[in-house]
C-alpha cells in the first residue's frame, strides 16, 4: 500500500469530521519521527476526539488491513512511534482533557493526549502529583508515558508509570472497547490486564482513558550534593543509601566526565576534580526533613566520599538540577555521535556495571560517560563516537555489545525507562527466554489478531517458521 485507499479515506473523513484526517505530505511528515532520529512517512494521520471514534477507526483499519501507530508527542527515543510507510498514525492530541480529579480517592481520570506537565499543573492546587517525571514531562503525553512505562528521577521513591495507574479504558486490535481495573488501590478480581498494557508501546491496545494513582505533594524538599573520589565509591554509597530506612526522593549519579561537562558546558558550580557525584534529595514536611537529610547524609558519607553539601536554598537546588538536565545535550559537544542506552541492574550490582563500562571504554578506546537514576540501578550509558569514522562506529557497536552482555549477566534489563521500540527488539530476544517471548507473542495475537497495532515494535522478529 503506498497511498490511503480512497474508500477508506472517505470513511475516515466521515468518521473523524473536519480536521480529523491529515493527508498532505507536509502534515504527515511531522508525525513520522520521534527522538530516535528515525523517520517514516505515514499514509495519513487520524485525530480522533473520543473513544467511540477510536473504536470505529480501529474497526476500519482492521477491515482494510491497515497498520495503526498510536502517538502522543513522539518524545520517545526508540522509534516506537515511527510509522511504517503503509501505516496510519493515530495522534491523541484532540483527546487531551483532565476528566476528573478526586482528591479523596487520590485519583485523576485523564485522556491519553494530556501532557504530563499540564496534569501536574492541574493537580498542584489539590496538593497532589502524579509520580512519573521523565525529562520530557512538559511535552510528553500521559498516553506516551503509559505506553513506554516512563520513569524519571522520582521513581526511586514513588515508582514508575506502572506503579501509578489503577484502571484503563482501551480499544484492542480486535476493535473491542475494554475496561481494566478500577479506581481502587487494591483488587483481587481476575487477571491484572491494566499493568499488561503499560509498557506495551501501543502493540496490544490503544489507551483512550486512564485512571491514575496520585500521591500527596511533599511540602518541602532538600538536595544534597555528594562528591566522591571515584565512581566505585559513589556506586557503593548508592547501595548504602538504598539499604537504610529513609528512601531519597531522587538519587542521581554522574561520573567524573559528566561532572566536568556539567561544569564546563552546563555552567554548574562543581569541582573539576570530582571522580563522581551523587545528587540526593529528600522530601517531606518541615518536621520530617531534617531527620531524613541527616540519615541520607550519614549514608552518603564513608570511604571515598570527599564532601556532602546541602543546597543552601531553592535557587542552588535548581542550579544543581539544571546542570543535571543540561548533561544530555552537552554530551553532543564532545562527539558528533552518541549511543545513549538506559540499562538497569540491581542496585548492588551498579559498581560491577560501572566497572564493566570503564573496561569497555578502555578496550574500545572510546569515551563512555554515565549518569542516571542510581537509586533504581538505571544508568544512562553514553558511548561517544564519530559515526563518519567507520572504525569508531564499529568500536562503538562492540562496546555496546559488551555492555549489554554485562547487564544481562548481572540480572538486569536492557531498558529501564525508554522502552524497546524499533531499536532494541533483538536485544529483547537475547535477554528473555524463548518460552517467555513465545507467551508475549501469544498475548499480542490475542489482543491484536490481525497484527495491525504498531507492527514491528517491541517483540523481536519471529524465528523462521514460527508465528
CB-nearer residue toward a second copy: 30 or 176: 176
* Interaction pattern, residues 428-447, with a second copy; x per rule: CB under 8 A: x--xxx-xxxxxx-xx--xx
- The one-character DSSP state at 249 is S
Residue nearer to a second copy on the CB measure, 291 or 363: 291
Site for a second copy in 411-430 (CB under 8 A): 411-420, 424, 428
Name the residue among 198, 83, 85 with its Cα closest to residue 457.
83
Half-sphere exposure of 377 (CA within 13 A, CB side): 20
Pick from 92, 130, 180, 404 the residue near a second copy by CB under 8 A.
180
Q: Helices 350-364 and 390-409 sit at what angle, rounded to 10 degrees? A: 160
By CB under 8 A, is residue 302 in contact with a second copy?
no
Applying CB under 8 A, among 38, 64, 106, 358 the residue interacting with a second copy is 106
Instruction: For the CB of residue 1, give the shortest distance to a second copy in the complex, in Å.
Output: 28
Tell me the helix, strand and coil percentages in the chain, rounded to 5. 40, 25, 40
Chain residues 4-63 in contact with a second copy, contact rule CB under 8 A: none
Measured distance CA(203)–CA(236) in Å, rounded: 39
Distance from C-alpha of 35 to C-alpha of 82, rounded to nearest angstrom: 10
Q: Residue 325 CB, nearest distance to a second copy (Å)? A: 19
Query: What is the sign, positive or negative, of the torsion defined by CA atoms of 197, 199, 204, 210?
Result: positive
Instruction: Give the pairing type, strands 276-284 and 250-255.
Output: antiparallel
Edge-to-edge order in the sheet of strand 44-46 = 21-22, 44-46, 88-91, 68-71
| Residue 402 binds a second copy (CB under 8 A) | no
Kind plus residue range of the DSSP H or E element containing 341: strand 337-344
When the beta carbons of 98 and 288 are compared against a second copy, the nearer one is 288
Paired with 280 in beta bridges are 224, 251
Strand pairing category for 68-71 and 88-91: parallel
What is the C-alpha separation between 222 and 255, in angstroms, rounded?
22
Restricting to residues 157-176, which ones interact with a second copy according to CB under 8 A? 159-160, 162-163, 172, 174, 176
Could you tell me the smallest distance in angstroms from the CB atom of residue 141 to a second copy? Answer: 16
Distance CA 407, CA 404 (A): 5
Q: State the nearest-atom distance from the C-beta of 309 to a second copy, in Å.
A: 21
CB of 21 to a second copy, least distance (A): 27
Query: Rule CB under 8 A: which of 72-101 touch a second copy?
Result: none
- Give whichever of 20 and 419 is closer to a second copy, judged by the CB atom: 419
Place of cell 522502552: 419
Which of 364, 373, 380, 457 is in the footprint of a second copy by CB under 8 A?
Answer: 373
Min CB(371)–a second copy separation in Å: 15
Please select the residue that binds a second copy; options are 256, 377, 455, 456, rule is CB under 8 A.
377
124 scored as a contact of a second copy (CB under 8 A): no
Name 33's bridge partners.
Answer: 39
Q: Which residue lies nearer to a second copy by CB, 20 or 421?
A: 421
Sign of CA dihedral 193, 194, 195, 197: positive
Our finding on whether 244 is near a second copy (CB under 8 A) is: yes
Which of the ranges 21-29, 30-38, 285-293, 312-320 carries the binding residues for a second copy, by CB under 8 A? 285-293
Pairing of strands 88-91, 44-46: parallel
Residue 348 interacts with a second copy (CB under 8 A): yes or no: yes
Q: Which stretch binds a second copy (CB under 8 A): 24-32, 82-90, 179-187, 381-389?
A: 179-187
Pick out residues in 194-233 that bind a second copy (CB under 8 A): 195-196, 198-200, 204, 216-219
Amino acid at each position: 500500500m503506498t497511498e490511503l485507499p480512497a474508500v477508506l479515506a472517505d470513511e475516515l473523513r466521515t468518521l473523524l469530521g473536519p480536521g480529523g484526517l491529515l493527508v498532505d505530505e507536509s502534515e504527515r511528515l511531522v508525525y513520522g519521527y520521534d527522538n530516535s532520529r528515525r523517520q517514516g512517512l505515514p499514509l495519513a494521520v487520524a485525530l480522533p476526539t473520543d473513544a467511540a471514534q477510536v473504536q470505529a477507526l480501529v474497526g476500519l483499519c482492521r477491515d482494510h488491513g491497515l497498520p495503526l501507530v498510536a502517538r502522543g508527542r513522539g518524545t520517545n527515543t526508540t522509534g516506537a512511534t515511527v510509522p511504517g510507510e503503509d501505516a496510519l498514525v493515530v495522534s491523541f492530541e484532540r483527546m487531551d482533557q483532565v476528566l476528573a480529579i478526586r482528591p479523596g480517592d487520590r485519583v485523576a481520570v485523564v485522556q491519553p493526549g494530556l501532557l504530563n506537565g499540564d496534569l501536574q499543573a492541574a493537580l498542584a492546587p489539590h496538593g497532589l502529583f502524579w509520580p512519573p517525571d521523565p525529562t520530557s514531562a512538559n511535552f510528553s503525553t500521559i498516553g506516551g508515558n503509559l505506553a513506554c512505562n516512563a520513569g524519571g528521577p522520582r521513581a526511586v521513591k514513588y515508582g514508575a508509570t506502572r506503579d501509578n495507574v489503577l484502571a484503563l479504558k482501551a480499544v484492542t486490535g480486535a476493535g473491542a472497547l475494554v475496561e481494566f481495573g478500577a479506581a481502587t488501590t487494591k483488587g483481587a478480581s481476575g487477571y491484572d490486564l491494566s499493568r499488561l498494557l503499560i509498557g506495551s508501546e501501543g502493540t496490544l491496545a490503544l489507551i483512550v482513558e486512564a485512571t491514575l494513582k496520585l500521591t500527596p505533594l511533599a511540602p518541602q524538599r532538600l538536595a544534597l550534593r555528594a562528591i566522591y573520589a571515584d565512581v566505585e565509591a559513589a556506586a557503593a554509597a548508592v547501595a548504602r543509601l538504598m539499604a537504610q530506612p529513609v528512601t531519597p526522593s531522587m538519587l542521581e549519579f554522574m561520573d567524573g566526565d559528566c561532572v566536568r561537562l556539567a561544569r564546563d558546558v552546563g555552567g554548574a558550580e562543581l569541582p573539576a576534580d570530582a571522580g563522581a557525584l551523587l545528587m540526593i534529595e529528600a522530601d517531606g514536611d518541615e518536621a520530617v526533613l531534617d531527620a531524613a537529610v541527616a540519615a541520607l547524609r550519614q549514608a552518603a558519607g564513608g570511604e571515598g566520599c570527599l564532601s556532602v553539601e546541602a543546597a543552601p536554598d531553592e535557587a542552588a537546588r535548581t542550579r544543581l538540577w539544571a546542570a543535571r538536565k543540561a548533561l544530555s545535550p552537552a554530551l553532543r559537544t564532545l562527539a558528533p555521535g552518541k549511543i545513549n542506552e538506559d540499562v538497569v541492574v540491581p542496585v548492588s550490582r551498579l559498581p560491577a556495571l560501572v566497572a564493566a563500562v570503564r573496561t569497555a571504554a578502555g578496550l574500545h578506546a572510546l569515551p563512555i560517560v554515565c549518569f542516571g537514576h542510581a537509586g533504581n540501578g538505571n544508568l544512562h550509558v553514553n558511548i561517544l563516537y564519530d559515526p563518519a569514522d567507520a572504525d569508531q562506529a564499529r568500536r562503538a557497536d562492540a562496546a555496546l555489545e559488551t555492555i549489554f552482555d554485562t547487564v544481562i549477566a548481572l540480572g538486569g534489563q536492557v531498558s529501564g525507562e525508554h522502552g524497546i521500540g524499533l531499536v532494541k527488539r533483538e536485544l529483547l530476544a537475547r535477554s528473555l527466554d524463548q518460552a517467555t517471548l513465545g507467551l508475549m507473542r501469544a498475548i499480542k495475537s490475542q489482543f491484536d489478531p490481525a497484527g495491525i497495532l504498531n507492527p514491528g515494535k517491541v517483540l523481536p522478529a519471529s524465528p523462521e517458521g514460527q508465528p
